Each structure stands twice: as structure tokens, then as C-alpha cells.
Amino acid sequence: MTPELHTHPNERDKALRRRAERVVPGGMYGHSVQKFLWPGAPQFWDRGLGSHVWDVDGTEYIDLMCSWGPLIHGHRHPIVEDAVSRQMGKLDTGNGPTELFVELGELLVDLVTHAAWTIFAKNGGDVTTLALTVARAATGRSTVLVAEGTYHGSLLWASARDAGIAPGDRAHVDYFRYNDLESLQAVASAHADDIAAVIVTPVRHEAGDDQELALPEFAHGLRSFCDTTGALLILDEVRTGFRLSLDSSWTSFGVLPDLSCWSKAIANGYPLSALLGSEAIRDAARAVFKGGTFWMSAVPMAAALATLALLREERGVEQILDRGQQLMTGIRRQAAAHQIPVRVSGPPSMPYLSFDGDVGWAKAKTWAAGAAARGLYVNPSHNWFISTALTLEDVSRALEATGGAFDDLSAVV
Amino acid sequence: MTPELHTHPNERDKALRRRAERVVPGGMYGHSVQKFLWPGAPQFWDRGLGSHVWDVDGTEYIDLMCSWGPLIHGHRHPIVEDAVSRQMGKLDTGNGPTELFVELGELLVDLVTHAAWTIFAKNGGDVTTLALTVARAATGRSTVLVAEGTYHGSLLWASARDAGIAPGDRAHVDYFRYNDLESLQAVASAHADDIAAVIVTPVRHEAGDDQELALPEFAHGLRSFCDTTGALLILDEVRTGFRLSLDSSWTSFGVLPDLSCWSKAIANGYPLSALLGSEAIRDAARAVFKGGTFWMSAVPMAAALATLALLREERGVEQILDRGQQLMTGIRRQAAAHQIPVRVSGPPSMPYLSFDGDVGWAKAKTWAAGAAARGLYVNPSHNWFISTALTLEDVSRALEATGGAFDDLSAVV
């Protein structure tokens, strides 16, 4: 099969961008801004089904972004949609929760070893922020230690930019280096007995950068540091959650956090996040102020129950790890055959591809544009996400597209 | 028609509460905690249809809470659900937005006089917080003035409790009294030239308290204060939005804010919020960091387009103001006939009933329990919400229930 290059002019996308420029500052914000993509990349989308997506100009792609993580079973998975549809026939946002609130709480406490309780919210940032307040309430301290450059959401204390951030917003946040216990000790010494928590992602997965797996001694060292100092260990699993394990990601190291933060893949695209915590800090979790208009909505909880049941029944985590491994092994081989030095990093279920000596992601963008022209959608400066909807045939077609993308890149480097 | 008293034992609700106690700190959080209700009040809900809701024990109520505001067209409105269903057949959370993102942005900018642009998010608190950062970025200042006791969401700077809040979180927030320009001047004088914004709700609608309409001279005074000092005026319309007007609520006074915050009723229960802003601060809005996994999801935007179109076509705001007025006029008459002194406050589309000399809302809870026993659900310590689904027959049946509730209260006071 010879892949057909997509050469359409993206007219609908361009027209929507022009309209968006008028009613949205800069025309776009968040993940979708054009500067992260290649010239002519689609910004507006029309539909998705399983492992495939269509942009507003009708071009079809195999989807390796999965809506930035949530679509762990692919778009409109029939079993998830059935559960959603049944709940939509009863109640979504109500005067209070439905019984699904209890069922999902029980399931999460059952799945995640360290967890004794849960609090549901909407954004990942809602629960990373709530984790800080619970840790502060539990310890009576203020300072939170964060790995330099780690994304924990867009709220004030975690903002990746300075615009609009006031000094107080980060007054109690200080920074260490991921996988570097010495840097943790050094920053800790500046805060005496005031460290409420250390918050960290199970894998270092910063946009635009190679991923870095946590060293087991780093995970154990963080746990010991917290046990010694009385600080709480918060694992931000918003991106990794249910992609490495159906448990907290460091349970395999034998390292349990005190608090863990979940969202993205929890409900296959329906908006939900959850803070899970250990028994010892239940009272602190009760004491802090929390709540939101849509936090009790039942439809995302129905989606979460179906999503997690499917992952469990169909061994979904193993499947996405396997499929991702197949794909990245193929990509490494293609790169070697083209004599293009690349790095593949991160867990296979959320891999990242980068190119040696790639200034401003220029090679990655050329490569991603080549893949897109052959019907494969990936982001050149952010890790990808594998879904259980990705078939063996999809992997095979994806590798035809990536092979062509390496051809394109060879022609220009 | 003689209303039948509901005397069932709430067995399913009780069982769910016991299970929730194990997996949720304190068994519940946010709006739904039992202490705000009467003993035996339902906490868990099964379904809703139009203006009616059913608790998990199968008891039916006329719904005057509308899920704390969002259900402005009632539960499962067929036109909203059709729009949702069509969009669910295409894409919800995608790799980027759909064209509905642009259409909804254009509609909001068209409806709301002061607005030149919009940014979508999920929680009301997302956009009140984003409003602060835009104001800070636009002015290069830090301090935000807030009306004492006003709820602007559950995030750190706005938290209604001290547990888990660190000194920096509120370091740049100071407080004035609603409808009191002198108190604003007094607090402003303590902050020299550092006031980035004044944030205020169009109506004072604090839980557990009588509502207070903004005096026109207060609204004009805030606008003058901001024009004089260079601070920005932020209207938090999360609760009032589209319940008083299809425009910003103070446009009728001739007072336009620089930023306005919207959520709740915007999408008839689907999770969405929006920050709207004026042309002069577009660049500041572009500069601040923002984004969230579910902020671009298309289904809530489809719901919002349908919700707002319905409000416009069917003169929904006038209708809920009228229905609320009929209901509260009837309740005032019943109270007078029972010689029970009450106060009815707030806009008729989101009214609040309180009782003279009511310590700890004891009378209000007795009254609300009496209404619930006759098939009417209201909250005794929070304003109610009227939907366009509330029929004249519903109002008539609601007044039978409230009449009975006054009988009950007469028997015990």
C-alpha cells in the first residue's frame, strides 16, 4: 500500500482560525496553540472514532495523541458510551451525587493500594492544588517542594509563566531536581521544619523534553525523606494514571505516596479528577474547603466506572504498553535505517520521540508534518498517548507513515 | 388536591451514606453536606426530568434548586439533549477544539456588551482566578479587593476556610463591604498604587444570608473607582449569569465591567465556564498561562449554544423572573396569613426565603422539611433557582407544599 499524501489546503481550518483570532486572545490557548505544531497543522477537529480522528477539513488520521491523554479506550468506545448514555437518561449534574459517586470511590480505594478515601473534582489542577491544602492542613506547615519545570496544572502556584502571578502565589513553593536527592536535601535545608509536602510525577514527562523514568532509589529516597521530616509525599498521576498500572505508579517500587492525583484517562475523555489519600490524613482532607458546581456530576463517574472496568477486564494497561513498544521499536529501526539519530523516551504507553541536535523542534516538526501528510497525527514537542483502540493494523499503518516521515526528513537534513 | 406526605424511611439514601463515610472524608463535601439540610433530607439522587427530580428512594420533588443553578432549562431538556447527542456522535474531548469553540465565542461576545473576547474553562473558580491573573498582567499590580464574605470559588485565594491555606495565598487580597463605597476607599488607601482589580458579584448572594441587590450608585462608584485608580472591574456572574439578563448584569445600570466570569447556567448542567473581557486587556489575557485537559471539550459547548439560543428565542429570562415572582408572592402571602415573619430576598429567578429570629436556620429547616414531605425540594440556607421548565402547574403545586410547610412551622413555633 502506498500512503497517499494529504495535500488539501485546510481551508475550513484557516477560516476558523481567522474567526477565532477575533474572539479569543491570540486565537488559541493551552495545548492547541500553533507554535507547538508544524505550519498547516490542523487546529480544529471534526470527529473521532476508535483510534481515528478527522480534522475539520475531513482529513483522517490515526490518533496517537488521544486528546492529550484522556482517550485511553479511543474515541466513542461503545461500552463507555453505553454507560454514559444510560446515565444521561437519568441524571448528570444534580442537587447532589448519585450512587455512582460511592461506587467509583469504592473502586478507586480498591484499586490504589495507598488510598483509603477519595475526593472528586474536574481538572487535574483542582486535585494537585487540593493535595497541597490537605498536606498543609495535616502538617500545619506551608512549604511545598516541586521538581523544577514539572507541570502540575495551570493554577497560580503552578503557573508556567510569570504574567499575572503575584509574589505570594509561589511564596511557599521551592524547587529540587528530578531524580536528584541531593538537590532535595539542599533545598529542604532552607526550609527548616516547614515542609508540608513534596509533589512529584511518577515519570518526568515535561513538554518539549525527553522523558526520564524515576530511579527506584529516588522514589525510595523521597519516601524516606518524607518519613524523616514529616512531610507528605504527593504523586501527581494526572498524566501517568492508569497508563502504567491500575495502581499508583510507584507501588511496583514498593513506594506508596500519602496523596495521589488522578484525571485524564480516568473517564475516557469525560471531565473528572480525583484526589486519593491515606487513612492517616482523612481528617485533614475533611477539614479543607472544597467543592465545585460540576464536581458531583454523574455522567463522568459512569464513564469512569466503565473505563476502569474495561481496563481491568481486558488487561488494557498491558495492551497499551505492548502496542506502544511495537510502535517505538519500529520507529527506532526506521531511524537507524535512515541514519537519523533519535531518542525514544518514557513509558511505551506514553512515548516521546526526539531528534539529536534538534533546535526549536525543527526536525520533529518536519517529521510530524510528514507523518500527518500520511495519515498519522502526533505532536512534535509533547509525548504521545497509546489507546486500547489502537489495532495491530493501526500500528502497521502508523509505521508506514513514520517511515515516510523519515524519508522526508532525510531529504532536508 | 391534598398533598400526600412522604414518610418513607430513606433506606437507600442511608445505606449510601454509610458506604460514603468509608471512602470519602466525612462522607460528603461541598454543597451537599447534611449540616445544611434537615434530618432525613435526601443526599443521593436518582434522576431528573424537566422541573422534577427523584431521590434514590424514589421520592419525586418539584426541583427549586436546579442542581445549584446550572439547570436553567430543567433536567434533560429535549433541545439541549438533541444538540448534545449530535455532538457526542462526533467528538467531545479532542486533540483541539471544534468549530463550536468559535461559534460559542462569537455568540458570547455578541450577547455581552463589554466583551471582545472569551476564554473557556471548566469551573467557575477557574475563571475567577484567571480574571485575577489577567488583571494583574494588565496592570502590573498585585492587590485584588474582594467584598467581605463573597464566594468566588474554592481555590486558595478564595477559600472560605483557613485549613490548608498558607499566608501567601491571600497575601494580595483585601476586603471591603458590599454596597459600601466608603469601606472600599478605606481599604484602597492601604494599598497605594497596587490595586489590580476589584472583584464583585452583581448581587450579594452569600449562602445562609439574605441577598442584597447592588445599589446603582455602588455599581457606578466601583466603575469610577476603577477608572480613577487604573484597577480593573471584575464581575463574577457565575451564579447570576443568564438569570437576570442575557448581558452582563450591570449593563442595565449602564455599568460595564472589564472582565466577567460565567459558568453554572451557561450550558444547562454541562461543565463549562467562560471568562469574557474587554478589548483593552486582550493582550494581557493572551500573556497569562492558561489551559486544562477538558477546557476545549465540544459537548458542553454544544449544550451552551443550545441553552443560550433557547433563552433568547423563548424569552427565558423574563419567564424565570415571572415564575419566581409568582412563587415568592404566594409564599409572602402564606407567611402573612400564618403570621410568620419572613424575608424574601434576591432576584425572583434566584430567590431566598428567611425567617425572622431564625437561629441556625432551625425554622428554615423545619419549613424545608415540610415542603419536602409534600414534594417540593428547596435548600433552607441557600438561594433557590428557577428554571424555564417550571410550569404554572408546578408553581401552583409548589405553593400547596409551601402552604403545608407553614402549617407545620406554625405548629412548632
For chain A, counts of helices (H) and of strands (E): 11, 15
Residue B228, chain A, CB below 8 Å: the answer is no
Q: Which of residues 63-92 of A touch B (CB under 8 A)?
A: 63, 65, 67-71, 75-76, 81, 84, 88-92
Q: Which residues pair with A331 in a beta bridge?
A: none
Dihedral, CA of residue B105, residue B111, residue B114 and residue B117, to nearest 10: 10
Q: How far apart are CA B157 and CA B154, in angstroms?
A: 8
Please give the DSSP secondary-structure letter assigned to residue A81: H
Q: Which residues pair with B204 in a beta bridge?
A: B212
Which of the residues A11, A14, A17, A24 would you substitute to probe the B interface, choosing the one with the greatest number of B C-beta atoms within 10 Å?
A24
Mean of pLDDT over chain B: 96
ipTM over the 0.85 cut-off: yes
Q: What is the structure's pLDDT at A379?
A: 96
Torsion-angle region of A8 (φ positive above 0: left; ψ -120 to 50: alpha; else: beta): beta
Cβ distance of B289 and A161 shorter than 8 Å: yes
Q: What is the structure's pLDDT at A32?
A: 82
Q: How far apart are CA A55 and CA A372, in angstroms?
A: 11
What residues in B contact A117, CB-CB < 8 Å? 22-25
Q: What does residue A2 show for φ and ψ, rounded to 5 degrees?
A: -95, 115
Q: Where are the domains of chain A?
A: 11-63+315-412, 78-313
From the centroid of its chain, how far is CA B48? 19
DSSP secondary structure letters along B272-283 = -EEEEE-GGGHH
What residues in A contact B156, CB-CB < 8 Å? 129, 133, 155-157
Rg of chain A taking only CA atoms, in angstroms: 22
What residues in B contact A47, CB-CB < 8 Å? 89-91
Q: How far apart are CA A395 and CA A400, in angstroms?
A: 9
Residue B263, chain A, CB below 8 Å: the answer is yes
What residue of A is the nearest CA neighbor of B12? Answer: A99
Cell of B50: 424537566
User: For each of chain A's 413 residues, which pLDDT tens digit applies?
Assistant: 444 565 567 999 999 999 999 999 999 999 888 888 999 999 999 999 999 999 999 999 999 999 999 999 999 999 999 999 999 999 999 999 999 999 999 999 999 999 999 999 999 999 999 999 999 999 999 999 999 999 999 999 999 899 999 999 999 999 999 999 999 999 999 998 999 999 999 999 999 999 999 999 999 999 999 999 999 999 999 999 999 999 999 999 999 999 999 999 999 999 999 999 999 999 999 999 999 999 999 999 999 999 999 999 999 999 999 999 999 999 999 999 999 999 999 999 999 999 999 999 999 999 999 999 999 999 999 999 999 999 999 999 999 999 999 999 999 87
Q: Which residues pair with A144 in a beta bridge?
A: A173, A197
Percent of chain B clearing pLDDT 70 (strictly above): 98
In angstroms, the separation between the Cα of residue B405 and the nearest Cα of chain A is 21
Given this chain, do its domains A11-63+315-412 and A78-313 carry the same CATH topology? no
Q: What is the structure's pLDDT at A1?
A: 40
What residues in B contact A92, CB-CB < 8 Å? 269-270
Q: Which CATH architecture has domain B11-63+315-412?
A: Alpha-Beta Complex (3.90)
**B6: confidence class by pLDDT, cuts 50, 70, 90:** low
Q: Return the H-helix or E-strand segment holding A110.
A: helix A99-111
Cβ distance of A117 and B292 shorter than 8 Å: no
Q: How far apart are CA A34 and CA B102, in angstroms?
A: 16
What residue of B is the nearest CA neighbor of A81? Answer: B88
Domain A78-313 sits in CATH at 3.40.640.10
Q: Return the H-helix or E-strand segment holding A147.
A: strand A143-147
Residue B20, chain A, CB below 8 Å: the answer is yes
Which of the residues A92, A262, A293, A384 would you substitute to probe the B interface, choosing the one with the greatest number of B C-beta atoms within 10 Å?
A293
Cell of A220: 525510595
DSSP secondary structure letters along B363-406 = HHHHHHHHHHHTTEE--TTS-----TT--HHHHHHHHHHHHHHH
Residue A133, chain B, CB below 8 Å: the answer is yes
Q: Which residues of B113-127 are buried (b: 16+ CB within 10 A; e: fewer)?
A: ebbbbbbbbbbbbbb
Cβ distance of B124 and A48 shorter than 8 Å: no
Cβ distance of A156 and B156 shorter than 8 Å: yes
- Which of B80, B100, B47, B111 has the alpha carbon at shortest distance from B317? B111
Q: Is residue B340 a contact partner of residue B378, using CB atoms and an 8 Å limit?
A: no
Residue B122, chain A, CB below 8 Å: the answer is yes
Q: How far apart are CA B31 and CA B208, in angstroms?
A: 12
